[in-house]
């Protein structure tokens, strides 16, 4: 069998493909960005601050980091650009009046909303804050004003 000239192997038949690397779930990454502190990985609790890069932190985690930079092992890679409290802005967030349904997981319930559009701050809608005052709105709500 074979060796009769009937089949000509080409490159795709001879070269093995490298397996694709597993990609992290984008929905989980977005949820983590909006529900958890970027530095301490704990659930966001007021007071909440943000840096110029748009990362959201618990203020107590930033204070711990500034007092002792070795508190968080990966702190210099996450927020090495923060040298003092002047590098972050305290955010004024509107609490979400909707209560989670009983039996629903509390960590999946958005804590904050836009005061203009009443959209929940869950990562599906882009949110912005005003640098001078720290007020947080959805981008669509800010354009309405």
Give dist(CA 8, CA 5) in Å, integer. 7
Query: What three-state secondary structure class fits 19?
Result: coil
**pLDDT value, residue 144:** 84
> Average pLDDT for consecutive 10-residue bins of the chain (145 residues)?
67 76 80 87 92 92 90 84 92 85 64 89 88 90 83
**pLDDT value, residue 3:** 63
Phi, psi for residue 75 in degrees, rounded to 5: -60, -40
Token pair, residue 87, equals 């590098």
**pLDDT value, residue 2:** 56
**pLDDT value, residue 18:** 77
pLDDT digits (tens, 9 = 90+) for 113-140: 989 898 988 888 889 999 999 999 999 8
Query: Which long-range contacts does 125-133 make (Cβ < 8 Å, 24+ apart)?
Result: 129/50, 129/89, 129/91, 131/89, 133/92
Query: What three-state secondary structure class fits 73?
Result: coil
Burial of 82 (0-12, 13-18, 19+ CB in 10 A): buried
**pLDDT value, residue 89:** 94
Give dist(CA 95, CA 113) in Å, integer. 6
**pLDDT value, residue 32:** 81
Q: Are 143 and 114 in contact (CB under 8 A)?
A: no
Question: What domains appear along the chain, each with residue ranges and CATH number?
Answer: 25-88 (3.30.40), 92-145 (no CATH)
């Amino acid at each position: 069998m074979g060796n009769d000239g009937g089949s000509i192997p080409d490159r795709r038949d001879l070269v093995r493909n490298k397996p694709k690397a597993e990609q992290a779930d984008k929905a989980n990454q977005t949820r983590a960005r909006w529900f958890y502190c970027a530095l301490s990985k704990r659930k966001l609790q007021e007071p909440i601050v943000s840096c110029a890069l748009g990362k959201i932190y618990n203020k107590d985690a930033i204070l711990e980091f500034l007092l002792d930079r070795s508190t968080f092992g990966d702190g210099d890679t996450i927020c090495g650009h923060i040298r003092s409290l002047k590098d972050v802005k305290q955010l004024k967030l509107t609490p979400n009046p909707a209560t989670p349904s009983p039996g629903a997981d509390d960590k999946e319930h958005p804590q904050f909303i836009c005061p203009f559009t009443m959209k929940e701050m869950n990562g599906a809608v882009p949110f912005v804050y005003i640098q001078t005052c720290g007020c947080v709105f959805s981008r669509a709500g800010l354009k309405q004003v």
